[in-house]
Structure 1
């Protein structure tokens, strides 16, 4: 080409020959960051869930300890555990042991308002029946009504148990078997009753809770939390040996099998005497 001839070809910068990708880099960075954050959250969720379950179980544990303190104080004053329920002259059930131990937790504004001569659901007791007693509510449960008066803390009532329909045992009678005499359990949600209602669990119901595949136990690991007569709280699993369970229910000085001899019902706290 002649040097004097004009050159019509424009010199195009090299970078203009390439597609512009400036917008792509921040998008890719954002997507990568989003994926990393999602992965971290997915890794942390089981730990957070486990921590929450542990906290709820610990709160339930403390509720049972509080109930144990009330039962201990009642027994110290009256010489025996409360009856599972009170009755009128005709034998009709009136009030639960949960009502009877209210004043032994400390100052209770509810107890003076309760007419013990009338049934728990009589209009005369409507004010107390609508109240919620915090230590009777397992924090692991979520009822439709957040102010529900229902409770899953049930005494285990049999002819040989510590808490009975009549003539409940004295602490002295249980000295030889205090570690494995079962007083109260945290039952599944479907077994919930009004805290004032004279309803509890018997041997058959407890066996069903532990042996039925349909029983929805609210604590991780398919366990029941139980309060024992020496006021420790232990986890009772579905694998608990039947002989050990029977010894817990009988609360008999002749029982030779204790929870200490089995690893299926483990104390949940080394320092679990009531405070």
Structure 2
């Protein structure tokens, strides 16, 4: 028979049995991970409504900022040339070449794109193909589902409006007030490429409130000659909208 040895001196006794070790780090990590997973299952569903509501608001704010930037670029063009840009430039035969959106690029964050454009050639000429395919997010509402080379922002064109074909407008011609006369409007699903010399007429503007679905739940964004932008209701009164779109109609808005 072997002599009796104290437990601590017994060479055959497992040291693990003699001194039980705490749970391993791996076990702790597993337990922590399970706890986090449970918390996520509880907390995330509670946060989702807030996330869903915050995203459209952020997109709307981005859209408002886009219109502000375009307003300022148009005014930058006016400061340099002494007149607002025409709705489009033309060749010697009077054929449209380039949109105002192309003409204001040097005053927007698009200087490098502007350098790639030959203004003497039509917007869709192969010479301008690279620029035409370039995405400029300043021209697109993040809520708009159109392709990236299409624009969400258009001018209202016509003899009564700030933009009238190839004829530029001077600020002195806008007698209805710069803070109440439209420069730009947001148009959902326009199918107009940002370089394309095409916008909408006053008649088409009024139809927006009847046929188009707005990006921003019942409102769309407009920009004014003084540079500010705002949201207006899709169901705005047509006479009010017409007055906003004309530059010298003599209407007194807000009265």
Partner of 1:156: 156
Partners of 1:158 and 1:249 within 8 A in 2: no
1:127 maps to 2:126: no
Partner of 1:118: 121
Partner of 1:165: 165
- RMSD across aligned C-alpha pairs, in angstroms? 2.4
Q: Distance in 2 between matches of 1:176 and 1:195?
A: 28
User: CA offsets per residue over residues 27-72 of structure 1, 9 Å max, x none?
Assistant: xxxxxxx8x956x656543332221111000001111111011001
Unaligned runs of 5+ in 1: 1-33, 263-275
Q: How many residues align structurally?
A: 220
Q: SS of 1:227's equivalent?
A: strand
TM-score normalised per structure 2: 0.78
Give the ranges of 4+ consecutive aligned residues of structure 1 lying more than 3 Å apart after TM superposition.
40-46
Q: Which moved more, 1:108-117 or 1:42-51?
A: 42-51
Q: 1:245 to 1:46 in 2, by over 3 A?
A: same
Unaligned runs of 5+ in 2: 1-37
Partner of 2:103: 100
State the shift of 1:107 in Å.
6.4
Partners of 1:156 and 1:185 within 8 A in 2: yes
Of 213, 226, 248, 1:252 maps to 248
Q: SS of 2:200's equivalent?
A: coil
Partner of 2:206: 207
Q: Which moved more, 1:82-91 or 1:101-110?
A: 101-110
Partner of 2:213: 216
State the shift of 1:192 in Å.
2.9
Q: Distance in 2 between matches of 1:153 and 1:61?
A: 11
Q: SS of 2:66's equivalent?
A: helix
1:82 maps to 2:85: yes
Q: 1:124 to 1:107 in 2, by over 3 A?
A: closer
